[in-house]
Each structure stands twice: as C-alpha cells, then as structure tokens.
C-alpha cells in the first residue's frame, strides 16, 4: 500500500472506531454533563475520520468516505487494538480518552508542519477542537486522581496500569513509513511515541499516578497489518447495521 494512504487509513480508522466507542456513553454517563461531553467528542472524532477518508477518496480514487467507513470487512481496517476494546467502566474510558487524545494532539501538531498540503490543512483545522478534548481529559484526571478519594485514585491507577501498554499500538510502525519521514510528511511513529511518553510521564506525575512497566507490547500490535482483537468484528456489525439495510441509499 502507498505509505501516505496507509498513514491516512491508520488515523481515520482509529478515529472512527474510538468515536463509536465513546458514543456508547450516551445516556449512561455518571452525570448528565458527561453524556453530553462524550457524545460531543465522539461526534468530533467521527467527523475527523470522515475528513481523512475524504482525502483518501480524493487522492487515491477509492470508494466514497461512507463506503470506506461502513462497507469494509474487519481485515480491511487498520485501527490499532487500543481503540477497539469495549468502554468498560468510566475510569477505563476516561484513561483511554486521556492517552488517546494526548497522542492525537502530538500527531496533529506534527502534521501541522507536513509537506503534504491537504494533510497539513486538515490537521491545523482540527487542532483547536482537540485542545478542548485534552482539557476535558485533564480536568477529570485531576479531579479523580488528585482531588477525589482513595477509591477514585485507585481506579484511575488501575485503568492506567491496564491501558498504558496497549496504547503503544497507536505508534505501531508500518511499511514504507521511512518514505514519509524522508519526504517530511511527518516525523514518524518512533518520534511521536517518544514525545507522547514524555508528555504522559509529566502529566501522570502531576496527577500523582505511577506509570506501569512496559516489558512486552508485542501482543498489542498488529492492527496496522489488519490483525485485530475479537472486539472489532461485533462493533463493525453493530455500527453498520443501518447502513447495510440499504447501502445504496442517499441520505
């Protein structure tokens, strides 16, 4: 696969899947404001995914964005494992939100300097709304880890212990990535990962949280090669249910 096309699919598929996961909090959040917040952020992420699918469609003469998002099989997706897991309890989704959006901010900030004009423009467009996602995650991490009680701190720490290693799949290397680095399209997964680790370390220190060891992350890799968790297929079936009733309909 063309390296730029692969990068775009990686980002679009991650955003589409975590957008749908976050939307599952609608109506069941711990407080009404969190119903609204997670629903709003989910809508943002699905909208961002649509923009990346649109760029794929325009640059590589593929199927339309709707077809790319809703009419591919599990083994045609390139989402990382991290975004595929069910929402769990609120602390689990909050920590995933925190880790994902920090990675996304670093990625889009890097791409805002891309030599690829359309990709640079999209990244610049989405940075302002992403900063509100970061603010939301940080406020709740601070509230539950530092300003809550022993139980809330322990739950956030437990979810961090579970999710931190899995999150490294966000930066899984892919074929011909060095071509993009050479052409100054972006800095590459390793550079983004190093920046992300430093940021997460600093923020967790402020939240009085300890980062777990990451001795082995290989079992959480494979998404960029279209190998997925058992959770992706049922999610795709659910999220494409209406589309598949009449795939050729115009909405």
* Phi, psi at 187, each rounded to 5°: -85, -10
Per-residue pLDDT of the chain (251 residues; tens, 9 = 90+): 699 999 999 999 999 999 999 999 988 878 877 888 999 999 999 999 999 999 999 999 999 999 999 999 999 999 999 999 999 999 999 999 999 999 999 999 999 999 999 999 999 999 999 999 999 999 999 999 999 999 999 999 999 999 999 999 999 999 899 999 999 999 999 999 999 999 999 999 999 999 998 878 999 999 999 999 999 999 999 988 766 656 665 55
250 found inside a domain: no
Residues 45, 19 contacting (CB under 8 angstroms):
yes
Asked if the structure places residue 151 within a domain, the reply is: yes
232 in a structural domain: yes
Give the closest residue to 179 by CA, choosing from 116, 122, 242, 238.
Answer: 116
DSSP string, 226-242: T---TTHHHHHHHHTHH
- What DSSP assignment string belongs to 170-181? GG---TTHHHHH
The Cα 222–Cα 170 span in angstroms is: 11
Cβ atoms within 10 A of the Cβ of 83, count? 28
Could you tell me how many residues make up the chain? 251
User: Is 102 part of a structural domain of the chain?
Assistant: yes
Pair of tokens at residue 9? 């699919």
Residue 26 lies in a domain: yes
Per-residue pLDDT of 45-84, as tens digits, reads 999 999 999 999 999 999 999 999 999 999 999 999 999 9
Looking at the 3D structure of the chain, how many domains does it have?
1
- State the Cα–Cα distance between residues 223 and 221, nearest whole angstrom: 6
pLDDT for residue 31: 81
Q: Quote the domain boundaries for residue 97.
A: 3-245
Q: Is residue 119 part of a domain?
A: yes
For the domain that residue 135 is a member of, what is the CATH number?
1.20.1260.10
Residue 251 lies in a domain: no
Torsion region of 249: left, alpha or beta (phi above 0 gives left; psi -120 to 50 gives alpha): beta
Which H or E run includes 11?
Answer: helix 3-23
In a domain, 147, yes or no: yes
Burial of 233 (0-12, 13-18, 19+ CB in 10 A): middle
Task: Evaluate whether 166 touches 145 at the Cβ level (below 8 Å).
Answer: no
């Amino acid at each position: 696969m063309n390296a730029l096309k692969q990068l775009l699919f990686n980002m679009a598929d991650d955003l589409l899947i975590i957008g749908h996961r976050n939307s599952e909090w609608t109506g069941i959040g711990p407080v009404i404001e969190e119903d609204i917040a997670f629903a709003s952020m989910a809508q943002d992420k699905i909208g961002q995914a649509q923009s990346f699918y649109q760029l794929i469609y325009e640059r590589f003469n593929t199927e339309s964005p709707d077809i790319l998002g809703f009419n591919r099989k599990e083994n045609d997706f390139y989402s990382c494992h991290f975004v595929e897991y069910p929402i769990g309890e609120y602390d689990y989704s909050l920590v995933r939100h925190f880790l994902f959006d920090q990675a996304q901010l670093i990625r889009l900030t890097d791409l805002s300097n891309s030599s690829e004009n359309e990709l640079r423009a999209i990244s610049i467009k989405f940075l302002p709304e992403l900063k509100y996602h970061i603010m939301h995650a940080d406020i709740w991490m601070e509230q539950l880890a530092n300003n809550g009680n022993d139980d809330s701190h322990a739950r956030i720490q437990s979810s961090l212990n579970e999710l931190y290693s899995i999150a490294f799949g966000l930066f899984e290397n892919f074929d011909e990535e060095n071509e993009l680095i050479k052409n100054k399209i972006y800095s590459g997964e390793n550079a983004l990962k190093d920046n992300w680790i430093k940021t997460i370390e600093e923020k967790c220190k402020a939240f009085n949280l300890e980062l777990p060891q990451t001795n082995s992350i290989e079992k959480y890799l494979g998404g960029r090669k279209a190998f997925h968790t058992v959770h992706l297929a049922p999610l795709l079936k659910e999220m494409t249910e209406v589309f598949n009733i009449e795939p050729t309909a115009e909405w």
